[in-house]
Structure 1
Amino acid sequence: MTLQKRSVPLDGMRALAIVATIFYHLMPHILPGGYLAVNIFFVLTGYFITASVIEEYGQKHKLAYKQYLSRRFQKIYLPLVWMLVTVTAYLTVFQRDLLLNLRPWILSSLGMYNNWWQIWVGGSYFEQFYVQSPFTHLWFLSVMSQFYIVWPLFALLLLALFKDKRIILFTAVGLSLFSAVLMAGLYEPGQDASRVYYGTDTRLFSFMVGSSFAVVWPIGELDQSLPKGKRRLLAAAGLLSYAVLGIMFRCLSDSQTLTYRGGMYLNSLIIGIAVAATAHPAMGPAKILRFKPIQWIGRRSFLLYLWYYPVISLYQAKVVDTSTMPGRHLLVQALFILLLAELGYQLFEKERWKVPFLQNWRLGDNLSAMKATWSRSATRHWPEKIASLISLSVLAAALTGILQASSGENVAVQELRDQIALSQKKMEVINQDESIRSRAINNIEGLEREAVLFAHDMDITFIGDSVLLSAADQLLSVFGQAVVEGAVSRQLYQTAGVIDSLKERGQLHETVVVILGSNGTFTQSQMEAFIKRIGPSRELFFLTTNVPRIWKDSVNAQLALAESNHSNVHILDWDGHSDGHDDWLLADKVHPNPTGAHQLAIFMAEQIYRESNEENGSN
């Protein structure tokens, strides 16, 4: 059995991985654990690279390292350069504001150190509303390439020294444990996890799991028949592993401490079991994953990965509001991703068309090819001429963008960060010393005196995400005794620990305002669990979200359902109130600017004051 035939079912696993990854970015509320799917690529890479080294060393007692690297990077570099050039040309013509800091993004991506560069500059994989580069996802390719370069040499050295492939197993297990412990140690609960998410050192365990299985379950034994009992055991393990992976993808969010303190390592181990069960052609998963549509996706998984993030980020930056007719927006993005991946597959895998500056590095060869194309007068050569013109134009536009790209901070992003930092600093000071809260009750423009007095003396707790943090300063000027508990990228289903902590500190007051939903929706059961945890004796006010994303209507529908089911739940319709007031919002159309923060504060004060009067039977 050839290596190509043996890897066919595992192409199906690549298909599952890329679909889950895309789902995580398009619909994070449906698949909050979809980010774990990259571990499938890592485990498979560790499995195949290690198996290849062992197999070649066993046959030749050496590894043709130069040819190995040439094969690997030939498959990676040409499609990567094509994507970088095409996206840069698009930015140059249509979205020039995203050219900011373009050169280091391109250099770090081509140099295969993008993950470490993002760590160095403090880049975040998880902050949705800070402007993201369309090349953010290339951290993954850098981690893969670093493994391609280093691990085969190290594995070859181990084989040469010990003459026993079991040394690779022992080393891989040891390195995997070290990497998992390092991730757990470097992760800081409540902080952005990008350092441990991007780091080659903290993601090494997934590769090492794959390498371990390459020794335990060698490629060369995949075509061997298995005893009935062993086959049943492997089949059961395979089904269980896929079931557990599905639960993890559905439930293990990127902000949970468990994720980085054992969760990802366990995920990789289960993927290893799934690989073992899928790799044998007689197993059920292998038969299912041979399904032609799954194979079609799997064979294009690398190109789908290259294009999914640029398409999603550029589409959302251009369209901004994808909350209306979300199905249409999802379909358009999916079609763009599929079309670009298929184009790349035909260009680089099948080499169906020869286009200058795409499939060849040499400038002289490309210029000669263009000259030869234009020297032909036959009408049938016009497609080649048009393709060469398009290729040259795209390259020229990209080079123009690279030369014109500026460096520095994005003004809109910095404004939001400064606003949030100011609010967080103020809250930290107040939490340390309650005596510094303002006792003066000043008139507030736009708010009646009775509402001002009511809001200032009210014991109230705010729980929310970055929208709350961006408005916290203004909220504290209106709600003088407020407790503000906010965190960037927080979602409703991540608040159990927050609520318990507030209760322990005696800061969960009888009136609670919730500002969540900007980062994704939630289910009815998650909402019910949240309300139960808050307690039926407290009055709950939920702010409707104005986030211009596909989950906006789902969030607001869940809030309306909760209000209809619980007498202590009330809706503050900020989405309706802020409609048509773009001047209240920052460039992302989600977070309020200082004017919008003031409007949000007085809106909530008015609504809560009115609701209180109605419950007390007064006007």
Structure 2
Amino acid sequence: MTLQTRSVPLDGMRALAILAIIFYHLMPHVLPGGYLAVNIFFVLTGFFITASVIEEYGQKGKLAYKRYLSRRFHRLFLPLLWMLISVTAYITLFQRDLLLNLRPWLFSSLGMYNNWWQISGGASYFEQFYVQSPFTHLWFLSVMSQFYVIWPLIVLLLLVLFKDKRIILYTAIGLSLFSALAMALQYAPGEDASRVYYGTDTRLFSFMVGSAFAVVWPLAKLNEPVSKQISRRLTFAGLMSYAVLGVMFSRMLDSQIFTYRGGMYLNSFIICVAVASTAHPATGISKMMRFKPIQWIGRRSFLLYLWYYPVISLYQAKVVDTSVEPGRHILIQLAIILGLSELGYQLFEKERWMVPFVQSWRPGDAIARMKASRARGLAANLPEKLAAIVSLGLLLAALTGFAQAPSGENSGVQELREQIAASQTKMEQINRDESLRSRAINNIEGLERETVLFAHDADITFIGDSVLLSVADQLVTIFGQAVVDGAVSRQLYQTSVVIAALEKREQLHDTVVVFLGSNGSFTQTQMETFIKEIGTSRDLFFLTTNVPRIWKDSVNEQLALAESNHSNVHILDWNAYSSGHNEWLLADQVHPNPTGAQQLALFVAEEIYQELNDENGSN
């Protein structure tokens, strides 16, 4: 299967897409909608695959399906295989804790059903602190591969039965509507969106939008000469589409209802407009996309996608705290990603070095290359020989890790989950039944009697994430009347429904304490909305975050800004108080252990007591 022309400018569009994806993971607080860039790859894939099938069928009256699959999977499978081998070898040698449950990750990734396997296991793309596999991103390749296999056959069948390209257009539009509706109906606001994010059925609409566009305006037609007026209109439409995409990438959060109920579908149509203006050689955008650095990135976009997530996840697991000098950590990760991608490009795209066990998985090919290399002598082709030795070593290390990989759940993660689950259950029971609250006022070591009396009778509402849930038992021991509402992976901009529900139950008290920021930053607008929903008549306390991630300073700066702008906002500087006390934290350096939970609860009680007593003019 061939396509009549390669669209060089669309490589530039791929470059922008992969950069958005990488920076979404490196700096999620800066580009919170960068995850949308995968739709660019989906739309382009639908566009090119459909155009290729139509072209080949029109020329030959048939489809060389076996040859098409062989070429597609040769380009995908070998780089994927060696990324999996290299990463497995690395974690076998240096981060053995990540060998846990390795085999199903590898099988599902190579079998191209990783997205459905992650769905069946309840995996979440958006959780930050539970142990994450370096292969989480391969859901994308599984969705792509499933489309590669099935859609060409459907297009061919439609062409054979109806002899009319328009039936492909109608089918693609119908399937896109079905897929967008499936996403909208299956998405549950306030719950993790990974099911609709991973699902082939709920992501199909982007492919179908690209497929429909291939019928309406194929690539050959996009190359036809146009008048200057039409060229200007195309350029203007393209600039507008890129501007809208830029707004979406910077504003469209993965937690918004609109994202899953029409937002991604709209995003795919806007991408089509961008594709048309980018591909046509008469537009200014087309010329800009031919810029050599952009082309360099675009031609390596697949390899950059393969490597970006393993590098980021393994680097952050090894370094742990990337909040100190975050710019340096970003540059190091980018350098590693680019270096590994370039190496892969030279091996698999350019085939600059013919290395046994790399460009082909057939044992006969590897043996033949080894014999040929030996015949040329030791001095000849030394890089190939060294690469072969390194590759064989990586393969042996990966096989060792594969054989030794344990199954089950990380003990630290299991302990945290059980602690959170128990706390969450207890809080729900107490919030439903006030009689379960302790009425006795006991002395608490570490607190003055006046603080204990104040805290026991204080009407306080706590809103937060898993950090709050991990210390809830200690808080309730001190704050006898407390209402605690926490949820794993909750972010500040997800709390509108929470606040409304608390107010409806008359559990939003005059003092509100917020444990949010561990899972990502927020904008000043989002903070102002939150404060407005809580109400300026309430005392609002924010706990600073000690999360060892790049967004820590951004979160704490936004909290400081809110304190300076609102007299009812106060800061509980847990980040400064806990500094130097790693013994208070679990291995993730985010969640307090039992000792840290006690210290946090005491700190919160003392700080709130001091602040509110100062406000009331007492000592």
Once residues 355 and 8 of structure 2 are traced to their aligned partners in structure 1, the CA distance between those partners, rounded to angstroms, is 30
1:167-206, aligned counterparts within 5 Å? 167-206=167-206
Instruction: Name the residue aligned to 1:19.
Output: 19
Between 166-175 and 585-594, report the one with greater CA deviation.
585-594
Say if 1:423 and 1:469, in contact at 8 Å, map to a contact too: yes
Closer, same or farther in 2 for the Cα pair 1:258/1:435, shift >3 Å?
Answer: farther
Shift in Å, 1:114? 0.5
**Is the counterpart of residue 9 in structure 1 residue 9 in structure 2?**
yes
Shift in Å, 1:63? 0.6
Between 485-494 and 24-33, report the one with greater CA deviation.
485-494
Shift in Å, 1:218? 1.1
1:33-182, aligned counterparts within 5 Å? 33-182=33-182
Say if 2:126 and 2:194, in contact at 8 Å, map to a contact too: yes
Shift in Å, 1:229? 5.1
Shift in Å, 1:362? 1.4
Once residues 522 and 185 of structure 1 are traced to their aligned partners in structure 2, the CA distance between those partners, rounded to angstroms, is 28
Shift in Å, 1:3? 4.6
Once residues 505 and 496 of structure 2 are traced to their aligned partners in structure 1, the CA distance between those partners, rounded to angstroms, is 15
Instruction: Name the residue aligned to 1:359.
Output: 359
Shift in Å, 1:452? 1.7
Say if 2:3 and 2:52, in contact at 8 Å, map to a contact too: no
Shift in Å, 1:212? 0.6
SS of equivalent to 1:461 = strand
Shift in Å, 1:523? 3.1
SS of equivalent to 2:302 = helix
Say if 2:4 and 2:220, in contact at 8 Å, map to a contact too: no
1:191-590, aligned counterparts within 5 Å? 191-227=191-227, 230-590=230-590
Shift in Å, 1:4? 7.4
List per-residue Cα deviations over 1:376-406 (Å, max 9, x = no partner).
4443443332222111111110111101111
Shift in Å, 1:294? 1.0
Once residues 384 and 263 of structure 2 are traced to their aligned partners in structure 1, the CA distance between those partners, rounded to angstroms, is 52
SS of equivalent to 1:512 = strand
Code of the aligned partner of 2:452: V
Q: Which runs of 5+ in 1 are unaligned?
A: none
Say if 2:222 and 2:276, in contact at 8 Å, map to a contact too: no
Once residues 230 and 532 of structure 2 are traced to their aligned partners in structure 1, the CA distance between those partners, rounded to angstroms, is 47
Once residues 76 and 473 of structure 2 are traced to their aligned partners in structure 1, the CA distance between those partners, rounded to angstroms, is 48
Say if 1:172 and 1:212, in contact at 8 Å, map to a contact too: yes
Shift in Å, 1:325? 0.6
Closer, same or farther in 2 for the Cα pair 1:467/1:27, shift >3 Å?
Answer: same
Shift in Å, 1:12? 1.2
Percent of counterpart pairs with the same letter? 76
Once residues 32 and 169 of structure 1 are traced to their aligned partners in structure 2, the CA distance between those partners, rounded to angstroms, is 33
Code of the aligned partner of 2:373: T
Between 88-97 and 466-475, report the one with greater CA deviation.
466-475
Once residues 231 and 377 of structure 1 are traced to their aligned partners in structure 2, the CA distance between those partners, rounded to angstroms, is 59
Once residues 517 and 101 of structure 2 are traced to their aligned partners in structure 1, the CA distance between those partners, rounded to angstroms, is 31
SS of equivalent to 1:484 = strand
Shift in Å, 1:617? 2.6
Between 44-53 and 526-535, report the one with greater CA deviation.
526-535
Once residues 306 and 347 of structure 2 are traced to their aligned partners in structure 1, the CA distance between those partners, rounded to angstroms, is 14
Shift in Å, 1:503? 3.1
Say if 2:10 and 2:278, in contact at 8 Å, map to a contact too: yes
SS of equivalent to 2:25 = helix
Shift in Å, 1:507? 2.5
**Is the counterpart of residue 591 in structure 1 residue 614 in structure 2?**
no
Once residues 206 and 378 of structure 2 are traced to their aligned partners in structure 1, the CA distance between those partners, rounded to angstroms, is 55
User: How many pairs does the alignment contain?
Assistant: 618
Once residues 4 and 473 of structure 1 are traced to their aligned partners in structure 2, the CA distance between those partners, rounded to angstroms, is 66
Shift in Å, 1:374? 3.9
Say if 2:3 and 2:55, in contact at 8 Å, map to a contact too: no
Say if 1:6 and 1:279, in contact at 8 Å, map to a contact too: no
Once residues 439 and 405 of structure 1 are traced to their aligned partners in structure 2, the CA distance between those partners, rounded to angstroms, is 51
Closer, same or farther in 2 for the Cα pair 1:502/1:227, shift >3 Å?
Answer: farther
Shift in Å, 1:277? 2.1
Alignment root-mean-square deviation, CA? 1.7
List per-residue Cα deviations over 1:439-485 (Å, max 9, x = no partner).
23233232222212211211111122221122222222222222222
Closer, same or farther in 2 for the Cα pair 1:51/1:107, shift >3 Å?
Answer: same
Code of the aligned partner of 2:105: W
List per-residue Cα deviations over 1:96-136 (Å, max 9, x = no partner).
01001111111110000000111111111010101100000
Once residues 169 and 4 of structure 1 are traced to their aligned partners in structure 2, the CA distance between those partners, rounded to angstroms, is 20
Once residues 614 and 468 of structure 1 are traced to their aligned partners in structure 2, the CA distance between those partners, rounded to angstroms, is 26
SS of equivalent to 2:546 = coil
List per-residue Cα deviations over 1:538-576 (Å, max 9, x = no partner).
212111110001121222222223323332221111112
Q: Which runs of 5+ in 2 are unaligned?
A: none
Say if 2:544 and 2:572, in contact at 8 Å, map to a contact too: yes
Between 39-48 and 258-267, report the one with greater CA deviation.
258-267
Once residues 583 and 70 of structure 1 are traced to their aligned partners in structure 2, the CA distance between those partners, rounded to angstroms, is 54
SS of equivalent to 2:570 = strand
Shift in Å, 1:369? 2.4
Say if 2:190 and 2:494, in contact at 8 Å, map to a contact too: no
**Is the counterpart of residue 608 in structure 1 residue 611 in structure 2?**
no
SS of equivalent to 1:379 = coil
Say if 1:6 and 1:222, in contact at 8 Å, map to a contact too: no
Once residues 221 and 338 of structure 1 are traced to their aligned partners in structure 2, the CA distance between those partners, rounded to angstroms, is 35
Code of the aligned partner of 2:592: P
Once residues 445 and 186 of structure 1 are traced to their aligned partners in structure 2, the CA distance between those partners, rounded to angstroms, is 49
Say if 1:360 and 1:366, in contact at 8 Å, map to a contact too: yes
Instruction: Name the residue aligned to 2:32.
Output: 32
Code of the aligned partner of 2:585: L
SS of equivalent to 2:443 = coil
Shift in Å, 1:602? 1.4
Once residues 498 and 466 of structure 1 are traced to their aligned partners in structure 2, the CA distance between those partners, rounded to angstroms, is 15
Between 268-277 and 531-540, report the one with greater CA deviation.
531-540
Shift in Å, 1:375? 5.0
Between 138-147 and 482-491, report the one with greater CA deviation.
482-491
Shift in Å, 1:506? 2.7
SS of equivalent to 2:485 = strand
List per-residue Cα deviations over 1:232-254 (Å, max 9, x = no partner).
44333322221111111111111
Once residues 425 and 489 of structure 2 are traced to their aligned partners in structure 1, the CA distance between those partners, rounded to angstroms, is 18
Shift in Å, 1:61? 1.3
Once residues 216 and 506 of structure 1 are traced to their aligned partners in structure 2, the CA distance between those partners, rounded to angstroms, is 56
Once residues 600 and 171 of structure 2 are traced to their aligned partners in structure 1, the CA distance between those partners, rounded to angstroms, is 57
Once residues 438 and 236 of structure 1 are traced to their aligned partners in structure 2, the CA distance between those partners, rounded to angstroms, is 67
Shift in Å, 1:70? 0.8
Once residues 437 and 330 of structure 2 are traced to their aligned partners in structure 1, the CA distance between those partners, rounded to angstroms, is 47
Code of the aligned partner of 2:384: E
